[in-house]
Amino acid sequence: MELSDKTNSLIGWLFISLLVIVMLASVIILVATASVRRIMSEENTRFLQALDHQEELLHSNLLVQEKERRRIAADLHDELASRLNIVRLNLQWSPAAQGPSAIKPIALIDEALDITRKLSHELDPPLLRHFGFAEALTDFLQPLQNVLQVQVCFLGNSAQVRFDRIKERQLFRVVQEMVNNVLKHAQAHVLQVNLRISERWVGMCISDDGTGFDPETEKGGMGLSNIESRMQFIRGKYRYRSDPEKGTKIVLKVPLNTTRNAC
């Protein structure tokens, strides 16, 4: 009887210790899980804040870049081009420069003036400023056919439709970058650009029959990251499909209902 009591008491203690250990483990689990959750949520907040800050920096960088482009374009057009014009006129009307020896300097100045105008227009396309995205795009694409012997097909539904100026400008830069990539690397014969502007969005499709590229190897490249940051800035989406020897197709979509502060 005494032995049985001892056994019972031992078993009882064992069972109590089992319960205590399990309860202790449960408490540790609850406290630790709550702490981990709190740490994770704090870290998540910090991470999101850092992400927002980064996005803000990127956006202000893009806006400053655009502002600077406009300033350089204006300087080129108003200062350099005017001075070159004055030099040209002086040369033209100078009695010392009436002979055939003056033709070469005047031609050189004309060339310099052309380059200055071209640079100024590329930096800040006047058509984009005054007539909108579709007109500027037509103006940008048209000369390519003559100069680079690439067959350019441009289809657009709305030449005069204007939308948010910042979006127009950023989208134009994106298309410029994409088309330049095609011309530089794709060795394409045909470049097709489709544009559709509705009340709520702008849709574009740029395709070529060039050599294509491997998206995995080009992922870290400046071109694609520039496009990505600009598209992110205007809250646009884009996707591309590229197969070696089959060309590249890029589809862009930019919503027009969201607004951003102008610089």
Partner 1 sequence: MLDETWVTFFVRFCEVLAFTSTFVLMAALTLGILKYRHLGPAFQYFVVYLTMLLCSELIGKYFTYVLQQNNLILLYPYLVLEFFLVSFIYRELLQLKKRKRLIFNIYVWVITAGLGAYTLFLFSGEEAFTTTHFQWNPKALINGSILVYAILYLIHTLRHASVRNKITKTFLLINNGVLLYFSGSLIVFLSMNYLVNVSISISIFFFLSNAFLALIFYLFCLFAIWNYQTKQTR
Q: List interacting residues with partner 1 (CB under 8 A).
A: 7-8, 10-11, 14-15, 17-18, 21-22, 24-26, 28-29, 32-33, 35-36, 39-41, 43-44, 47
Nearest to 155 by CA among 140, 134, 169: 134
Smallest distance from partner 1 to CB 236, Å? 16
**Sheet strands side by side (includes 151-156):** 151-156, 190-197, 201-208, 247-255, 237-243
Smallest distance from partner 1 to CB 36, Å? 5
Shorter beta-carbon distance to partner 1: residue 27 or 74: 27
Smallest distance from partner 1 to CB 120, Å? 39
Shorter beta-carbon distance to partner 1: residue 9 or 157: 9
Smallest distance from partner 1 to CB 144, Å? 35
Shorter beta-carbon distance to partner 1: residue 32 or 148: 32
Q: Give the type of residue at 127.
A: L
Smallest distance from partner 1 to CB 259, Å? 24
Nearest to 171 by CA among 209, 210, 226: 226
Angle at 241 between CA 258 and CA 260, to 5 degrees: 15
Smallest distance from partner 1 to CB 235, Å? 15
Shorter beta-carbon distance to partner 1: residue 28 or 64: 28
All residues at 6 or more sequence positions from 147 whose CB lies less than 8 Å from its CB, including other chains? none
Shorter beta-carbon distance to partner 1: residue 7 or 151: 7
Smallest distance from partner 1 to CB 227, Å? 17
Q: What's the CA gap between 11 and 136, in Å, rounded?
A: 89
Shorter beta-carbon distance to partner 1: residue 36 or 108: 36
Shorter beta-carbon distance to partner 1: residue 47 or 118: 47
